[in-house]
Amino acid sequence: MTPSPSSFTRRQEFWSGCRDELPILVGVAPFGMIYGLLALGAGLSPTLAQAMSAVVFAGSAQVVIAQLVHQGSPGLVVVVTVLVVNLRHALYSASVAPFLRRLSAPAKGVLAYLLTDEAYAVAITRYLRDGERVEVSPYRHFYFFGAGITLWACWQVTTAIGIYLGGRLPESWSLDFTLPLTFIALVVPALKDRASGAAALSAGLVALAALGLPYRLGLIAAALTGVAVGLGVEGRS
Amino acid sequence: MNLLPVLLVAGLLTFATRLSFIVLIGRVETPPLFVRALRFVPAAVLSALILPELIVRGGELRPDFHNPRLIAGVLAAVVAYFTRNVLATIAAGMAALWILQLLLRV
* Interface predicted TM-score (ipTM) of this complex, two decimals: 0.86
CA B3/CA A74 separation, integer angstroms:
10
A8: Cα within 13 Å, side-chain hemisphere: 21
Length of chain A: 237
CA B2/CA B8 separation, integer angstroms:
11
Chain A CB contacts of B102 under 8 Å are none
Count how many pairs of residues, chain A against chain B, have C-beta atoms within 8 Å: 251
Tell me the pLDDT tens digit for each residue of B21-42. Answer: 999 876 667 778 888 888 888 8
Whether residue A59 contacts residue A82, with contact meaning beta carbons closer than 8 Å, is answered with: no
- Ramachandran assignment for A168, one of left (phi > 0), alpha (psi -120 to 50 degrees), beta (any other): alpha
- Site from A37, A127, A184, A233 to mutate, B interface, most B CB atoms within 10 angstroms: A184
pTM over 0.95: no
Q: Where are the beta strands (DSSP E) in chain A?
A: none
Average pLDDT over residues A206-228: 86
Tell me the pLDDT tens digit for each residue of A152-184. Answer: 999 999 999 999 998 888 777 787 788 789 889
Confidence at residue A6, expressed as pLDDT on a 0 to 100 scale: 66
How close, in Å, is residue B16 to chain A by CA atoms?
A: 8
Angle between helices A217-236 and A75-85 (to 10 degrees): 20
CA dihedral (A94, A96, A100, A101) in degrees, to 10, reads 30
- Average predicted confidence (pLDDT) for chain A: 89
Which one, of A172, A141, A8, A161, lies nearest residue B97 by Cα?
A: A172
How close, in Å, is residue B70 to chain A by CA atoms?
A: 11
Confidence at residue A1, expressed as pLDDT on a 0 to 100 scale: 40
- The shortest CB-CB distance from A48 to any of B3, B20, B54 is to B3
Whether residue A89 and residue B7 make contact (CB cut-off 8 A), yes or no, is: no
Burial of A90 (0-12, 13-18, 19+ CB in 10 A): buried
Please determine, for residue A5, whether its predicted confidence score (pLDDT) is greater than 70: no
- The shortest CB-CB distance from B76 to any of A100, A184, A231 is to A184
More confident residue, A87 or B76: B76
Average pLDDT over residues A39-65: 93
CA A123/CA A125 separation, integer angstroms:
5
Which amino acid makes up residue A217?
Answer: L
Every domain of chain B and the residues it spans: 3-104
pLDDT band at A107 (very low <50, low <70, confident <90, very high): very high
- Site from B3, B12, B14 to mutate, A interface, most A CB atoms within 10 angstroms: B14
A92: Cα within 13 Å, side-chain hemisphere: 25
* Lowest-confidence region among A45-49, A59-63, A223-227, B35-39: B35-39
Bridge partners (DSSP) listed for residue B60? B57
Whether residue B36 and residue A234 make contact (CB cut-off 8 A), yes or no, is: yes
Whether residue A184 and residue B37 make contact (CB cut-off 8 A), yes or no, is: no
Confidence at residue B4, expressed as pLDDT on a 0 to 100 scale: 92
| Secondary structure element (H or E) that encloses residue B57, with its range | strand B56-57
- The shortest CB-CB distance from B48 to any of A97, A109, A203 is to A203
Whether residue B52 and residue A111 make contact (CB cut-off 8 A), yes or no, is: no
Confidence at residue A4, expressed as pLDDT on a 0 to 100 scale: 62
In degrees, to the nearest 5, what angle opens at C-alpha A182 toward C-alphas A176 and A188? 140
- Average predicted confidence (pLDDT) for chain B: 88
